[in-house]
Amino acid sequence: MKRVFLIVLDSVGVGEAPDARLFGDRDCNTVKRISSSPYFRFETLRRLGMGNMDGLDFLPGEKEPTAAVCRLKERSMGKDTTIGHWEIAGLVSPSPLPTYPDGFPEDVISEFEKATGRGTLCNKPYSGTEVIKDYGEEHIKTGKFIVYTSADSVFQIAAHTDVVPLDELYGACRKAREILKGKHAVGRVIARPFTGKAGEFVRTADRRDFSLTPPGETVLDALKAAGKTVYAIGKINDIFAGRGVTEHVVTHGNAEGMQKTLEALEYDFEGLCFTNLVDFDMLYGHRQDVDGYAKAFAEFDAWLPTFISKMKDGDVLMITADHGCDPGDSHTDHSREYTPLVIYGKPVAPVNLGTREGFCDIAATVGEYFGLPYRGDGKSFLRGILRPTETELALCKAAAEAREASYSPYSGYSVGAALLCSDGTVYKGCNIENASYTPTVCAERTAIFKAVSEGRRDFTMMAVCGGRHGPLKGAFPPCGVCRQVMTEFCPKDMPVLLMTGESTFDRRTLGELLPFSFTPEFME
């Protein structure tokens, strides 16, 4: 049974992105900042290999890491929670969600007033507690909604529960959601009910968020459509406006989020468990609390071994982030940063994938792991992280044996290939040279011609190794002629293992080695 546990450490960035200046950021690095705190702990994540990530040389590395790691760049033109999560789920946003530092435009407000039958007050960025202090009484007197925003892409409506019943407030939010489309598609419309007497107004627990629906198909939708479970923990359900989610639980903070994720390990399901741990951002990042942030990070690091010890065979854990929020930089807002990605589980080899071009590669990889066609805007790195299977290792061994028979006195390069048929039969081939050079045949073609001349065409995998006589020094990819011959007889999605050592290899497909190839179909 396959399961992916995807945990987003909200705002845990790992260093300034190359385009940070475009977002008003400089000298931001959330993890580096908190690593200077005496409360910072980095035991489990160090052992997993997080310190080996590109650009994280300020943290201790690990010679024998147990997880695959890489650093991700954000492709979307935004640095907020919604856009970050949508990209993790496969969707790149070409423009940021709109913000309103000068309040909402006339036409939006008048449409809202017409739709709800109530006037509006404020219409500015405001603190949620101050806004009810300053406008609460006028609101009670006039019955007008208090409409305000913040640095985020939000349309917030505050109303006293004695003046506007909850249902009416929620109804007004739905109407606002209808109006706020196209260029005014704010991330969230938020109902902010409050109660109490003048001077003692307090907000109630009935806040409700009306999120923007993702503008395209996410990996959550694809998983749900394929009948898999998508279990959302924390604010994930809200971020996706419930789309693609099959079950969800709302949490209050990191401790509960971690607890629910741990409990999910005990549930019987195939699919994705998607958790957001919000405290890093909400309680410490925005509030510029370096020590608090470091403590929360230490708590997560200390919780991980319990989670890992309970993982089952097909489980894959992915730990990442949606943006940065350096608690020690010059502002309280999010920061445009690289995010970390740590991938751990039985099927995963501890490779370092360097720096990758988009958060959306996570969705593409999850899609491929579940055997779905979904890749979204990303590129899957699944084949780069999967541990070799028995079959792959056996085929590599056969290719290495074939290389021993190489006849290559002229070039000094010996090559071996092994071709697997659907019933398990393996055809081996080596390169065979000639004093007149041109009759030379490559290892791949030797194997293919041997098999085809025995009546076989049902090829499922090939392994190739080669190089100067002696131990392998790296991949030795098939030449153009061999690729053409492979294209004639092998399926496009056939894996080709380019051996880099005795039991290590790059997994490619034939289609990747020879895209847009000339195939028998062109001869029809």
Could you list the residues that contact ligand THU (CB under 6 A)? 408, 411, 413, 415, 431, 433, 440, 442-444, 466, 478-479, 482
**Residue closer to ligand THU, measured from CB, 26 or 473:** 473
* Region of 272 on the Ramachandran plot (φ > 0 left; ψ -120 to 50 alpha; else beta): beta
The SS3 call for residue 418 is strand
In angstroms, rounded to a whole number, what is the distance separating the alpha carbons of residues 292 and 253? 14
CA angle in degrees (0–180, nearest 5) for 79-81-84: 65
In angstroms, rounded to a whole number, what is the distance separating the alpha carbons of residues 328 and 30? 8
Q: Which of 96, 241, 116, 84 is nearest to 183 (CA)?
A: 96
- The tokens of 96 are what? 């940021």
Q: Smallest distance, Å, CB 354 to ligand THU?
A: 27
Q: Which of 241, 217, 220 is nearest to 231 (CA)?
A: 220
**Residue closer to ligand THU, measured from CB, 20 or 496:** 496
**Residue closer to ligand THU, measured from CB, 456 or 483:** 483
CA angle in degrees (0–180, nearest 5) for 116-122-126: 120
Q: Which of 207, 213, 184 is nearest to 82 (CA)?
A: 213
**Which amino acid belongs to residue 456?**
R
**Residue closer to ligand THU, measured from CB, 334 or 445:** 445
Q: Smallest distance, Å, CB 72 to ligand THU?
A: 34
Q: Smallest distance, Å, CB 417 to ligand THU?
A: 7
Q: Smallest distance, Å, CB 442 to ligand THU?
A: 3
Q: Smallest distance, Å, CB 437 to ligand THU?
A: 9
Q: Smallest distance, Å, CB 504 to ligand THU?
A: 19
C-alpha dist (Å) from residue 178 to 108, 172, 242, 358, 429: 11, 10, 17, 31, 65
CA angle in degrees (0–180, nearest 5) for 271-277-281: 145
**Residue closer to ligand THU, measured from CB, 325 or 442:** 442
**Residue closer to ligand THU, measured from CB, 302 or 481:** 481
Q: Smallest distance, Å, CB 516 to ligand THU?
A: 20
**Residue closer to ligand THU, measured from CB, 155 or 505:** 505
